[in-house]
Amino acid sequence: MIGTSAGEWLFIRSSIILIRYTPLLYAAILAALCLWRGHAPWQTTPARCICALLACEAIFYLVVFRPHVSRVRTPAAHPAALSPSARRTLFYRCMGNVPDADEYLRWWFLGADLRDICRDNVRQFLLWAFFDVKETDAWCSPDRDAIWAELDEYMAFLEKRLDRPLAKGRGSAQGLMLTVDDVETAYRSMSWYLAVFIVDQLTHLIMAVLGFQYYARSPAQAAKTFPPRPQELWARRHDVDVGVGLYLMLRPGGDECKVALFKLMCKYLAFEAFLDHKTSA
């Protein structure tokens, strides 16, 4: 972000460690104060401040961080399973738009070497992509025989497109299966989010001074954001909630053609979202 020299790299890494693991820093300072002063933590003002900060970090961890981790690790709600005929149609339609089967598999497996993508890897990927199930769930399904027969058909077609048979067994390649992959989370302290909040607000202030106008999201979307954005309480809201919390920063003036094109694209997105909403209602 700030350069490529060793000194700059050391600075940014040190800053990340200090902000990310602030509770450990607080605990170290508190222990040093106790050893130096020889008093209990609550008998000196600096120690009381450190204890208060540790208490805030503990509350943040229990009230904000842990519930968020639990929420993101909730199993995904998959759509209703397609019928075998609809699934078969979808599979061949997808394969009809794949010009290079080798590259198609490699990039779904995060750029892995083709030698590391074996039959079991591809079978697991197809179960996620077209059946919306994990491999373990497919084994336990009452329709297991039908699933494996259909899967064998898809595997044979893929091998035909590859002009070679896939190696038996499971390779070291890891597929990208977003709704069934484990969600790995990293702890970040309250101080980390406080730093994000400060940068976010400074950015908003600078853009407002430059003439940009902030458009807030719906209250439901805003309530899910942490750290919060206070400006959403009084900012104008977009006419149609696009569903992903769309907010726009429009700058008056400048290249009129580009601004007009941008506004036209925004209206198109809003109209498309409106149609989707009416269709699903």
- Is the confidence at residue 240, as pLDDT, over 80? no
DSSP state, residue 76: P
pTM of the full predicted structure?
0.59
Span 82-107, mean pLDDT?
89
The pLDDT value given to residue 92: 92
What are the C-alpha distances in Å from 162 to residues 104, 122, 125, 247, 268?
10, 12, 16, 44, 40
Rounded to whole angstroms, what are the CA distances from 271 to 94, 117, 133, 160, 264? 28, 43, 34, 43, 10
Of the candidates 227, 181, 219, 229, which has an alpha carbon nearest to the alpha carbon of residue 65? 227
User: What confidence score (pLDDT) does residue 29 get?
Assistant: 85
pLDDT at 275: 47
For the chain, what are the domain ranges? 6-73, 84-162, 190-274
Q: 96: helix, coil or strand?
A: coil
By mean pLDDT, which of 158-167, 222-231, 236-245 is the weakest?
A: 236-245
* Contacts of 243 by beta carbon, 8 Å cutoff, 6+ apart: 273, 276
**Distance between first and last Cα of the chain:** 45
- Write down the pLDDT at residue 89: 92
pLDDT tier, 138 (very low <50, low <70, confident <90, very high otherwise): confident
Please determine, for residue 54, whether its predicted confidence score (pLDDT) is greater than 60. yes
What is the pLDDT confidence band of residue 242, given thresholds at 50, 70 and 90?
very low
